[in-house]
Amino acid sequence: MSDSRSVLITCHTGRDAAVESARLVIDRLLKEGLKVRVLEDEAEEVARTGVEVVPADERAAFGAEIIVVLGGDGTLLRAAEISRPTGVPLLGVNLGHVGFLAEAEVEDLHVVVDRVVDGRFEVEERMTVDVTVRNGTILARTWALNEASVEKRDGMLEVVAEIDGHPLSRWGCDGVICATSTGSTAYAFSAGGPVVWPQVEALLVVPNSAHALFARPLVVAPTSTIAIELLSTTHAGVLWCDGRRRFDLPPGVRVEIRKGTHPVRLARMLGVDSTGVPFTDRLVAKFGLPVEGWRGRVRPA
């Protein structure tokens, strides 16, 4: 095994199962001759002899082949902050509840390690969004994999939505969620937005509890620019990106959302048929959708 191969392991240290799983993965990778690194704020729980401890910043994944993430979607979103600047793919093992971003469940941990050791995985790119907050000048720049959500803080927000420089509608609402296809099964889903297959590049606009005759979820082109303007007479709001990065929004501010310049790369394990698990199957499994009675495509005799 080449000495140049390196794997970054990160986990939800607040879950005993995640810590134990991380230790098992680390021991196996070391045994197979791969280099292993862990984040310094997780090292006390998971570090073993021979493991490199690295700062938990954008440099942590530089030069790594893959990042193995053990936890729920929140853990993977945290790892995406490390992954995105370097383009190192993430392979998630779900120890949470729904876990749409993860590639495998914890009971498949041995398969995950085998795939990493053998290099048997494919990489797909997931669109992100770049977010700019303006009020005459630029107040903040950030990004999101799932969604950028403009939300009320003290009282109902009065906003105007704009698509590609044209005003669309004014809403009194709890907020507006601007999501990617990847984020369609996250916050946008709970607010009544559509489920969009991740292969579809699109931007979603989902008004949240809007008091208006027209407040339907919208799906717009990935080349579009969405803007949400807080009226100067409304309450202050807050911007959340992936539920992790928070920015206060004063009245009169403008939030612009467009396709991100850098995607997040997700590793997908290769099965016996050289394909990953179809999104339809994930949807059925995660939500327990009823499919009894399905007979499949009728084949000619």
Question: Tokens in use for 277?
Answer: 């698990």
C-alpha span between 127 and 222 (Å, rounded) = 9
Helix (H) or strand (E) holding 69: strand 66-71
Residues near 184 by Cβ (< 8 Å), separated by ≥ 6? 193, 194, 195, 196, 204
> Is 108 annotated as catalytic?
no
Q: Alpha helix (H) ranges present in 64-152?
A: 73-83, 109-118
Helix 16-31 vs helix 109-118: crossing angle, to nearest 10: 30
Return the bridge partners of 271, or none.
none
Of the residues 16, 27, 73, 164, only one is catalytic, namely 73
Q: Give the HSE-up count for residue 109: Cα atoms under 13 Å, Cβ half-sphere.
A: 20
Pairing state of beta strands 245-249 and 66-71?
Answer: unpaired
Residues that are catalytic: 73
